[in-house]
Structure 1
Amino acid sequence: MEVYSTIQGLVQGAVSAGLIQKEDQLYARNQVLAHLRLDSFPEAVPAIPEKDLPDLVEELTNYAVQQGLIPDVLDEKEILSSKIMNVFISKPSEVNQTFFEKFVRDPQIATNYFYRLSQCSNYIQTKRIAKNIHYKAETAYGELDITINLSKPEKDPKQIALEKESKLTDIHYPKCQLCIENEGYAGRIGHPARSNHRMIRMEMSGEDWYLQYSPYVYYNEHCIVLAGEHRDMVINRETFVRLLDFVGKFPHYFIGSNADLPIVGGSILTHDHYQGGNYEFAMAIAEEEHVFTIKNFPGVHAATVKWPMSVIRLQGETPEKLVAAADYIFEAWKNYSDPEVEIVAYSGKTRHNTITPIARRRNDEYELDLVLRNNRTTEQYPLGIFHPHPDVHHIKKENIGLIEVMGLAVLPARLKTELAEVEKFLLNKENDIPPYHIAWAEEIKKHHSNLNEETVNKIIQKEVGRKFLRVLEDAGVFKRNQQGQQAFQRFLTTL
């Protein structure tokens, strides 16, 4: 009877969450029965203690594995759980109609509705996200956010073997994990299940764009805004138009774009998209440092920002003026070289300079941050001159994209166990510290005389924060020293 109690609990939970109405209960229950190949439902089903929807769905997928309905493989379980939750979600047209009815009243009410729907439908993986380790680290630039990402499940050997053997991996539909064709797609081995996925339609700059949330949100209401057309990431004038258009529609959200070049870009460069959300990062509240004038744009307030990376902040009441000023700065930066500080715009026809732009609203004003980036490599720095340098790779080696630029470290899952071993090392206990952490751990010992059971965890957190600050400083094109800041001024003078 346990499986029937779980089904009943799921149906009742969906009613309580507002996913379905009471009149939909029998229909929904029968749909779930079909997915589990059950032909009937008993008259008397024992009551089930109240549980979260993700826990109930997990119980049903475990039942399917036990009954031999699906193999005990991650992708197969994801496909089934997504299909089960899809029973309780309205069609895209209905979701969009509800969204825009609420949008007319207040954009924030609309996004609250859609965010809640994405959580309750288990599209946003709330149970897995809860596993992440996160805290704040105080620095001279404000509080940086530190996250050790434990939410994405690791593939087991059976899953990896299936992916290698399956000819389904040769299928190129959808073209990528961001394409609109993912909406409602059942999934397959090697491609995530998206039966319970919904997107909000919108127009930006005369094109079809789509709003969704990240399945593994790194901050509050972490959304993705993607182009309807599958095309490469690009930064151009239209990028600024769209970003400011978006915050005009959703003034409670920020939105930004990863850079459009390898090394300094994000993890997906093959589909034009932006990321946003309802969260204030340390960079957003960092203070202005040097106010300057751009002669051709007197209506735009321009300043550099006190931040480890090189940021120009533009402010104004008119989006069109900010677009023009941002485009002017971007075009100047694309062709700017200063070999004295390792900045070279081109190697032959290969461009190295780009930007990471971020837009937000400040009361009645629009604000646009332009983070200057360069992806050049050398023999000394084969992964990038303005990329985390080797001495911080034991903490962070991956690309520094939009989220990190703004002050949120997304650190690898391996650090959960590795930092525990570092703690043991610092307390002179038997440990299995990885060799690449030893030099760092010795430095910590040297600078902290108060290491004990009560203090060691906080000290480790502080030192990880310092390492992430170093990561951002490495990625900054104009360093936070006299030579670097003088070079920054030379560029601003050209404007």
Structure 2
Amino acid sequence: MCSNLIDNLINICHLNHLLESIDEIYVRNQILALLNESEFTDPPIGNLSLNLYETLDRLCDIAVEKNIIDDNLQSRDIFSSNIMNKFLDKPSVINNNFFELYVNSPKSATDWFYDLSKNSNYIKVNRIAKNKSYIVKSPYGNLEITINLSKPEKDPKQIALEKSAPANKYPACLLCVENEGYNGTIKLPDRANHRVIRTMLNNREWAIQYSPYLYYNEHCIVLSAEHVPMKVTKDTFKTLLDFTSFLPHYFVGSNADLPIVGGSILAHEHYQGGNYVFPMKNAEELFKFRLETHKSIKGIVLNWPLSTIRLSSLNVYELTDACNLIFEAWKKYNNSECGILSHSDGTPHNTITPICRRKGQFYEMDLVLRNNRTTEEHPLGIFHPHKEVQHIKKENIGLIEVMGLAILPGRLLTELEDIKDYILEKEDKVASYHKEWADELKHKYKSCLDIDKFIIQELGNKFTTVLEHAGVFKLNEKGIDGFKHFISTL
């Protein structure tokens, strides 16, 4: 059976352009060595009806039976990645292939690298397919919701192993370039089949990779080759603009650089991008403005729950300066009526989430104004999801949510079913933290409505409120006047 599985995997990878016929014997022997097998038996004529993921699972089963690996998710993932690494070229060859394609078309280069990352099982396509995605209506246009089911739950045994394992000092973090080809441990993910594209942006070395658990199409991560912390500066705008010159069909954005409003990893400078149009891109205009010092720049404020300025220009140098002008002004801006204080006891609160894209020959930069101040009433943040919505979303509102895509935990799928049963008076198993919301929905629901569509839209309404809480200038008369006042200070 081992020979059958290896032959099936080679056939699949041959169809996926991961090897040539001349490579087959070499790769077969490499996989045999991983399985402690010294011989290969010619498999019977006819292919197994197993896909890539099923074949890898069966090979992992054999490795477990032979005590080559432990029977836990991390060990199986590491072993699978080592198998797939046998089909991949060294980073130098992959980079050369990428840039040979890039000469003719940046899109053909990313298409090739994206397919390579999927076909080598670095991008966990079979797990991502489990996610549930929905489009919901809001006063700001359609929003998107994904219930994340892609990451398998860890069993108690694996959790115990992780707790007892010593801390890793290498690689320094999950985003370091030293992860390329790294075997993985019980604490650190498998990266044997991981490859990055090296490039220079704004006179610094960067690496481009795809996220193993994509949240949207071609979800890429742009990471500094040097392990340095996240910091939004004028150089950030230069780097983002440089990236969209390098890959004009991709957007790119940075999480904010302060706790609460920043991303989940602030220890390593990185951005996220990809070939995707988020709801925010299609937001309507609230009002226009001009910068007297930068007359080539077109400026608008978006009708979007998070307070967003959109600048566009053909001139990247002037656009960089205009972004920095607004950023520097925002860092010291105060508006007590809107609850905005730039500092408390010397601690800064104001920063931005910048997002860059191309629109034909024009460059567009969205500057999302953020503030991370806390109070006794809102200990997790004034401009953070408030208590009444934290049963849906309690975590930081990062770059992806800012643009209108909610990434919600897998537990919600079961919990929403419980809420449906409660509304329909079938059964009451509603979690205590959802009880108040479930009562509201039960009162609101009419029997003529499709219960599934009703629940998802109400979930979307919650996400809309989450985004509204994160906006520093609310879209009411006081908030819009405050926004216009800030623009006037420029």
Task: Using structure 2 for the length normalisation, give the TM-score.
Answer: 0.98
- SS of residue paired to 1:459: helix
Is the Cα–Cα contact under 8 Å of residues 7 and 43 in structure 2 kept in the other structure? no
1:294 to 279, 291, 296: 291
CA displacement at 1:451 relative to structure 2: 5.6
Residues 182-213 of structure 1 show CA distances to partners (whole Å, capped at 9, x for unaligned) of 00000111011100000001001111000000
- SS of residue paired to 2:134: strand
Give the Cα–Cα distance (whole angstroms) in 2 for the partners of residues 53 and 90 of structure 1: 19
Distance 1:466 1:26, change over 3 A: same
1:395 to 392, 401, 414: 392
Is the Cα–Cα contact under 8 Å of residues 6 and 48 in structure 1 kept in the other structure? no
CA displacement at 1:127 relative to structure 2: 0.6
Residues 248-270 of structure 1 show CA distances to partners (whole Å, capped at 9, x for unaligned) of 11111000000000100111000
Give the Cα–Cα distance (whole angstroms) in 1 for the partners of residues 442 and 72 of structure 2: 44
Aligned pair count? 490
Is the Cα–Cα contact under 8 Å of residues 427 and 451 in structure 1 kept in the other structure? no
Give the Cα–Cα distance (whole angstroms) in 2 for the partners of residues 58 and 473 of structure 1: 44
Partner in structure 2 of residue 13 of structure 1:
12
Partner in structure 2 of residue 104 of structure 1:
103
CA displacement at 1:307 relative to structure 2: 0.5
Partner in structure 1 of residue 486 of structure 2:
491
Residues 454-490 of structure 1 show CA distances to partners (whole Å, capped at 9, x for unaligned) of x111101100011000000000000111111111111
Partner in structure 2 of residue 337 of structure 1:
334
Q: Which amino acid aligns with 1:490?
A: H
Partner in structure 2 of residue 182 of structure 1:
179
Is the Cα–Cα contact under 8 Å of residues 3 and 43 in structure 2 kept in the other structure? no
Distance 1:355 1:172, change over 3 A: same
Indicate yes or no: 2:52 matched with 1:53.
yes
Indicate yes or no: 2:213 matched with 1:223.
no
Indicate yes or no: 2:308 matched with 1:280.
no
CA displacement at 1:447 relative to structure 2: 2.2
CA displacement at 1:156 relative to structure 2: 1.4
Partner in structure 1 of residue 232 of structure 2:
235
Residues 288-311 of structure 1 show CA distances to partners (whole Å, capped at 9, x for unaligned) of 221011111111001100101100
Q: Which amino acid aligns with 1:482?
A: E
Q: Which amino acid aligns with 1:182?
A: N
Which piece of structure 1 moves more, 420-429 or 48-57? 48-57
Partner in structure 2 of residue 459 of structure 1:
454
Give the Cα–Cα distance (whole angstroms) in 2 for the partners of residues 50 and 27 of structure 1: 24
Indicate yes or no: 2:79 matched with 1:88.
no
- SS of residue paired to 1:196: coil
Residues 119-139 of structure 1 show CA distances to partners (whole Å, capped at 9, x for unaligned) of 001000001101111111121
Counting only pairs closer than 5 Å after superposition, residues 61-72 of structure 1 correspond to structure 2 as 61-72=60-71
Is the Cα–Cα contact under 8 Å of residues 221 and 278 in structure 1 kept in the other structure? yes
Partner in structure 2 of residue 479 of structure 1:
474
Is the Cα–Cα contact under 8 Å of residues 15 and 21 in structure 1 kept in the other structure? yes
Counting only pairs closer than 5 Å after superposition, residues 266-415 of structure 1 correspond to structure 2 as 266-415=263-412
- SS of residue paired to 1:439: helix
Partner in structure 1 of residue 445 of structure 2:
448
Q: Which amino acid aligns with 1:5?
A: N
Q: Which amino acid aligns with 2:395?
A: E
- SS of residue paired to 1:385: coil
Partner in structure 2 of residue 417 of structure 1:
414
Unaligned runs of 5+ in 2: none
Counting only pairs closer than 5 Å after superposition, residues 113-152 of structure 1 correspond to structure 2 as 113-152=112-151
Is the Cα–Cα contact under 8 Å of residues 4 and 45 in structure 1 kept in the other structure? no
CA displacement at 1:46 relative to structure 2: 5.3
CA displacement at 1:394 relative to structure 2: 1.0
Distance 1:451 1:233, change over 3 A: farther
Give the Cα–Cα distance (whole angstroms) in 2 for the partners of residues 420 and 276 of structure 1: 33
Is the Cα–Cα contact under 8 Å of residues 5 and 46 in structure 1 kept in the other structure? no
Equivalent pairs: percent with the same residue? 51
